[in-house]
Amino acid sequence: MTVLILWLFSTLWYEDWTNAGIDELLIRTKEKPTVFTGTAPLGRAELSHFLNNVTPGNTSELWLKEKLERELDNYERSEYSAGIISDSFTREAVLIGKGIHTSFLTVFVEPIAKFDTSNEYPINMWKNFVVCDYLKGYVRLSGFGTSVTLGREPIKWGPSPRNTLILSSNAPPFDMLKFNYSNSKLKFSFLGTLLDSLSGCNRYLTGHRLEYKVGNPLYLGVSEIALFGGKNKLPDLYYFNPIFIYYPYQWNRPSEVNILWSMDFKLLLNQIGIYGELLIDDTPYSETEVGDRPKIGINTGVQWAVGKNYFLAEYTNVTRWTYDHLRPWQQYTYLGYGIGHPYGPDFDETFLGINHHFSKSVDFLFDYTLFRKGEGTINEPYPVLPNHFPSDYWLTGDLKYQNKIELGIQIHKAFTISCKAGYIIAKDNNTPVFSIFLQNISKAVL
């Protein structure tokens, strides 16, 4: 099994803890300040505004707020981070980040050096010893609720604190132009980027997302992505217009474009949060010659807090041929990695996580995952006449499964350390797993 450990360690690990902490604090508190966690990473100003307006009501909430304030203090400052993780084999990576901040300007750069051969990006080793690249590197102008970013940064859209469907940060971070605007009721986001070429074709990706807060407890979100291009194709400026909906252009002026939509919600009640996301890759309007069927994904979850305990239960499934396309160069990938959910198409996953806040600095963790995967892949050729799509569109063929149980501890001091150990029970073999993450273990000025 390929596990994208690099992203869990270097990007999703750090950002997911912050977003998950904000989600829990929102669920726990009666007063719920506006914060749009469905678009990540959050800006420094957004996190600061949230923490300045949230009022802890008990000890667990106070601990959470203090941890997040520590993260804000360390946000994009000089840091040295190191991590070791093992899942059937060992990988090590070292990151060094440096940022400069003023009231309206942020300049940040974060290279990575990875040791040992593995399937995670980056992969081209130097003398079988080390591989290097930049995970982040951007210039950002911000003010009056608006930010414009030019450069490289992971990005994630959707309500789940784990893996989302339309943009999940699974692929290497885009080199892009990104725009965000937010106020107390809504947040609008736009991105545009050049992808790697496939089959001799140029490829471009643009997307926009709108989140809207209805009353105090409900957030609604809608996202649209366009992947387009072709042989020697220049960018189509229509898709770089952040305001236009993409589909009318494709309908009225047939063009080589793969359009994906997602609709999502998050409902915040007293001590409970409920969320869901529906991904629509393609839905035929009428019967087709090859028997085409809807290609969709569903993600839904429940979060709830009881005393010092925080629970997360989540279910995800994605049908076969989702993220795929009739034309190979329109596959929903970047540098060979899926842009959507890390597991691609034709799977489902059930997850249960428990976080017990033992003390101000120590959390005990328990995770259980049931994962099932069919034969469908993200680069599977579409059936063409005289062949037809099979009637079975989900968990197809030779089904593989695994049960994964992990116990862990997370310590928040001047640094953050998380250790997990567990066991995978799979159809073909059983495997022990162990992981260690360290973050912010030194504040040396670089």
Least confident residue range of 91-95, 330-334, 416-420, 438-442 = 438-442
Q: Are 93 and 112 in contact (CB under 8 A)?
A: yes
62 inside domain: yes
DSSP for 291-313, please give it: ----EEEEEEEEEEEETTEEEEE
168 inside domain: yes
User: Rounded mean pLDDT of 291-295?
Assistant: 80
For the chain, the average pLDDT equals: 84
446 inside domain: no
Q: Are 92 and 83 in contact (CB under 8 A)?
A: yes
368, β-bridge pairs = 352, 405
Q: Are 278 and 289 in contact (CB under 8 A)?
A: no
Q: Which of 209, 216, 193 is nearest to 159 (CA)?
A: 209
pLDDT of res. 446: 29
User: Rounded mean pLDDT of 80-98?
Assistant: 55
Q: Are 229 and 329 in contact (CB under 8 A)?
A: yes
Render pLDDT for 216-264 as a digit per residue (tens, 0 to 9). 889 999 999 999 999 999 999 999 999 999 988 877 877 788 999 999 9
User: Rounded mean pLDDT of 151-163?
Assistant: 93
In the chain, what percentage of residues exceed pLDDT 90? 46
CA distance 132 to 368: 33
pLDDT of res. 444: 37
Is the pLDDT at 430 greater than 70? The verdict is yes
Is the pLDDT at 174 greater than 80? The verdict is yes
DSSP for 4-26, please give it: -HHHHHHTHHHHHHHHHHHHHHH
Backbone angles phi, psi at 3, to 5 degrees: -115, 125
User: Rounded mean pLDDT of 31-49?
Assistant: 86
DSSP for 135-192, please give it: EEEEEEEEETTEEEEEEEE--EESS-SS--SSEES-SPPEEEEEEEEE-SSEEEEEEE
Which burial class, exposed, middle or buried, applies to 50 when counting CB atoms under 10 A from its CB (0-12, 13-18, 19+)?
buried
197 inside domain: yes
pLDDT of res. 91: 57
Which burial class, exposed, middle or buried, applies to 350 when counting CB atoms under 10 A from its CB (0-12, 13-18, 19+)?
middle
Render pLDDT for 122-134 as a digit per residue (tens, 0 to 9). 888 887 788 888 8
Looking at the 3D structure of the chain, how many domains does it have? 1
Who has greater pLDDT, 351 or 415? 351
Query: Could you tell me the CATH number of the domain that includes residue 213?
Result: 2.40.160.130
Residue 345 tokens, joined? 């198409």
Q: Are 65 and 54 in contact (CB under 8 A)?
A: yes
Render pLDDT for 385-422 as a digit per residue (tens, 0 to 9). 777 777 778 898 889 999 999 999 998 887 778 888 89
In the chain, what percentage of residues exceed pLDDT 70? 87
pLDDT of res. 14: 37
**Tokens 């062949």 — which residue?**
387
Q: Which of 243, 268, 200 is nearest to 36 (CA)?
A: 268
Who has greater pLDDT, 278 or 19? 278
pLDDT band at 88 (very low <50, low <70, confident <90, very high): very low
From the centroid of its chain, how far is CA 288?
34
**Tokens 């989900």 — which residue?**
394
| Contacts for 348 with CB less than 8 Å, ≥ 6 apart | 315, 316, 317, 318, 371, 372, 394, 395
3 state DSSP class of 46: helix
444 inside domain: no
445 inside domain: no
Is the pLDDT at 75 greater than 80? The verdict is no
User: Rounded mean pLDDT of 42-52?
Assistant: 84
Residue 111 tokens, joined? 């290279």
**Tokens 């010893």 — which residue?**
129
Range with the largest mean pLDDT of 7-21, 158-172, 279-293: 158-172
344 inside domain: yes
Backbone angles phi, psi at 275, to 5 degrees: -140, 160
pLDDT of res. 413: 81
Q: Which of 225, 228, 221 is nearest to 201 (CA)?
A: 228
pLDDT of res. 150: 97
CA distance 334 to 323: 12
175 inside domain: yes
pLDDT of res. 205: 97
Is the pLDDT at 77 greater than 60? The verdict is no
Q: Which of 402, 385, 398 is nearest to 351 (CA)?
A: 402
User: Rounded mean pLDDT of 195-214?
Assistant: 95
Strands (E) across 58-158 are located at: 79-86, 90-101, 105-115, 130-143, 146-153, 156-157
Residue 74 tokens, joined? 């360390």
pTM: 0.89
**Tokens 């428990």 — which residue?**
354
pLDDT of res. 277: 98
Backbone angles phi, psi at 113, to 5 degrees: -120, 120
Which burial class, exposed, middle or buried, applies to 419 when counting CB atoms under 10 A from its CB (0-12, 13-18, 19+)?
middle
pLDDT of res. 382: 80
- State which residues form the domain around 159: 5-439
